[in-house]
């Protein structure tokens, strides 16, 4: 194993600076090249003698210098890009080595991994059963098989007052503006990993995240959830505006067509008159230009747009211990968590809800009929359950407690993006209240259906 200690973020930053320097040099070379060519062109047009020769020689020299600068700049830019890629490879190797170490030595402590840092293995504790089952694949936000590896190297049991390390990512990475774009994929999406982000503060006793920048963890979750809900809403609102604009243009086009037909009739009459006059005078006719038919407006794009039917409700969930932030969406009625992918902790909550003695009364039913859940919706189809399910599987993959107690270390916030008056918080329904027993909800929660008084958190 190499003993060269490198910092992936430093490599990426250095690579970025080198690339920018290379682009600057290349741009300067481009200008020199252009100047040299201009001198040569001027000299070729000057036939005065020695002045032409000197100008031409100088132009060639400047042109050659510009070419050298330009190529040198491009070399430096490529070198910077390669340096950044090297940082990515070092970090990926670090992550892979850590995973292999934890797999074979779950009790390992302070093992030195590629990249130089000290890595302490997180304690493994039981949580919810399920044996050694692998967690289901979850997406990182709109990618494919070439998605970037998650940056999770290092010990997540940070010391008291931890605010980042030399290998930390900048606080801007926690901003919702830097998160993956919304997607119609109903699978939960990883939005951020704050485990090594500067400006993230943890409680001195519990190690849980209390602040992200100048926001409390609670406010941060709402900040992200609001931003995401507005992102889902924006295309729908734009589609509505595009449709209104199209209807307006269709009306204008109808009026333009009427004017065109009148002009066309006048033009035909003018041609007849000009043809007759030209024949009588024995000359070639001079016809006026034909009126141009107005173009039909182009209908707006009718591709997939986020809507109540294919998104419904959005939810953001954050784990205060791992620092992971996930998003879930309701999706269509068919978009539910497969039973095989349901985390054991939530599976137990589902069974507890379904097996309640006496069941739950059906709304407005006078026959005494019951169902196996308080709310008529399918429990595994709601956004906040999907986000929490993904966070629990992430915990298991990292060796953290993923039992019922882990839920209290998470937080969710849910939104209706498509209400007529704008986005609106969506409290957890009676099903989600039982499925996510212990998870604080910024939007509040209901414990019955039809809903009674909203319960804070």
Over residues 200-206, the mean pLDDT reads 96
Name the phi and psi angles at 358, rounded to 5. Answer: 90, -15
**Which is it for strands 189-193 and 118-119: parallel, antiparallel or unpaired?**
unpaired
CA torsion sign for 59, 64, 65, 70 is positive
User: What count of other Cβ atoms lies within 10 Å of the Cβ of residue 176?
Assistant: 18
State residue 266's pLDDT score.
97
How long, in residues, is the chain?
457
State residue 304's pLDDT score.
73
Over residues 425-442, the mean pLDDT reads 98
Name the phi and psi angles at 93, rounded to 5. Answer: -65, -40
CA torsion sign for 372, 375, 376, 380 is negative
Which value, to the nearest 10 degrees, does the dihedral of the CA atoms of residues 39, 43, 45, 50 take? 160
From CA 379, how far away is CA 362, in angstroms rounded?
16
pLDDT digits (tens, 9 = 90+) for 123-158: 333 333 444 444 554 444 433 334 333 333 334 444
Query: 354: closest CA among 418, 435, 288, 292?
Result: 435
The angle subtended at Cα 140 by Cα 336 and Cα 133, nearest 5°, is: 60
Residue 111 has pLDDT above 50, yes or no: no
For 45-54, 147-156, 190-199, 346-355, which range has the lowest pLDDT when averaged over its residues? 147-156
Identity of the highest mean pLDDT range in 35-39, 53-57, 78-82, 296-300: 296-300
Residue 210 has pLDDT above 70, yes or no: yes
For 151-160, 217-226, 309-318, which range has the lowest pLDDT when averaged over its residues? 151-160
Task: Provide the percentage of residues in the chain whose pLDDT is more than 90.
Answer: 56
Which of 391 and 145 is assigned the larger pLDDT? 391
For 115-119, 171-175, 246-250, which range has the lowest pLDDT when averaged over its residues? 115-119
Over residues 37-45, the mean pLDDT reads 60
User: What count of other Cβ atoms lies within 10 Å of the Cβ of residue 77?
Assistant: 20
Residue 116 has pLDDT above 50, yes or no: no
Using 50, 70 and 90 to split pLDDT, how confident is the model at 436? very high
State residue 387's pLDDT score.
98
User: What count of other Cβ atoms lies within 10 Å of the Cβ of residue 319?
Assistant: 28
pLDDT digits (tens, 9 = 90+) for 349-380: 999 999 999 899 887 677 888 999 999 999 99
Over residues 287-310, the mean pLDDT reads 90
pLDDT digits (tens, 9 = 90+) for 404-423: 999 999 999 999 999 999 99
Domain spans of the chain, in order of start: 8-101, 171-220+306-435
Which of 304 and 118 is assigned the larger pLDDT? 304
State residue 30's pLDDT score.
65
Residue 3 has pLDDT above 50, yes or no: no
pLDDT digits (tens, 9 = 90+) for 221-276: 999 999 999 999 999 999 989 999 999 999 999 999 999 999 999 999 999 999 99
Residue 114 has pLDDT above 50, yes or no: no
Using 50, 70 and 90 to split pLDDT, how confident is the model at 163? very low
From CA 169, how far away is CA 195, in angstroms rounded?
9
From CA 36, how far away is CA 30, in angstroms rounded?
10
């Amino acid at each position: 194993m190499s003993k060269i200690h490198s910092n992936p973020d430093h490599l990426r930053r250095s690579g970025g600076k080198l690339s920018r320097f290379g682009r600057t040099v290349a741009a300067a070379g481009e200008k020199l090249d252009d100047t040299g060519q201009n001198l040569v062109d001027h000299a070729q047009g000057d036939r005065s003698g020695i002045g032409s020769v000197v100008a031409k020689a100088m132009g060639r020299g400047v042109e050659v210098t510009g070419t050298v600068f330009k190529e040198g700049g491009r070399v430096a830019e490529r070198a910077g890009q390669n340096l950044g890629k090297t940082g990515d490879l070092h970090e990926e190797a670090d992550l892979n080595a850590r995973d292999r170490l934890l797999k074979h030595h779950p009790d390992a402590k302070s093992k030195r991994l590629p990249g130089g840092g000290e890595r302490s293995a997180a304690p493994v504790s039981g949580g919810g059963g399920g044996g050694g089952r692998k967690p289901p694949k979850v997406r990182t936000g709109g990618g494919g098989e070439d998605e970037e590896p998650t940056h999770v190297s290092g010990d997540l049991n940070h010391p008291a007052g931890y605010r980042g390390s030399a290998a930390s990512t900048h606080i801007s990475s926690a901003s919702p503006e830097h998160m993956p774009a919304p997607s119609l994929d109903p699978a939960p999406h990883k939005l951020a990993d704050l485990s090594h982000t500067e400006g993230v503060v943890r409680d001195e006793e519990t190690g849980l995240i209390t602040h992200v920048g100048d926001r409390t963890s609670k406010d941060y979750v709402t900040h992200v959830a609001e931003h995401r809900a507005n992102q889902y809403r924006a295309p729908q609102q734009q589609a509505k505006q595009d449709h209104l604009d199209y209807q307006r243009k269709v009306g204008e086009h109808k009026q333009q067509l009427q004017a065109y037909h009148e002009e066309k009739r006048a033009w035909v009459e003018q041609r007849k008159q000009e043809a007759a006059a030209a024949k009588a005078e024995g000359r070639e006719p001079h016809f006026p230009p034909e009126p141009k038919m107005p173009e039909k407006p182009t209908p707006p794009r009718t591709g997939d747009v986020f809507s109540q039917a294919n998104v419904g409700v959005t939810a953001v969930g954050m784990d205060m211990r791992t620092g992971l932030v996930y998003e879930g969406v309701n999706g269509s009625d068919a978009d539910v968590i497969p039973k095989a992918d349901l985390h054991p902790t939530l599976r137990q909550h589902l069974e507890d809800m379904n097996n309640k003695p006496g069941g739950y009364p059906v709304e407005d039913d006078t026959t005494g009929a019951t169902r196996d859940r308080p709310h008529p919706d399918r429990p595994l189809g709601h956004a906040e359950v999907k986000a929490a399910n993904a966070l629990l599987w992430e915990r298991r993959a990292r060796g953290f407690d993923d039992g019922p107690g882990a839920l209290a270390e998470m937080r969710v916030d849910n939104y209706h993006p498509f209400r007529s008056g704008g986005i609106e918080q969506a409290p957890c329904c009676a099903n989600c209240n039982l499925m996510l027993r212990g998870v604080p909800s910024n939007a509040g929660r209901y414990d019955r259906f039809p809903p009674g008084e909203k319960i804070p958190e």
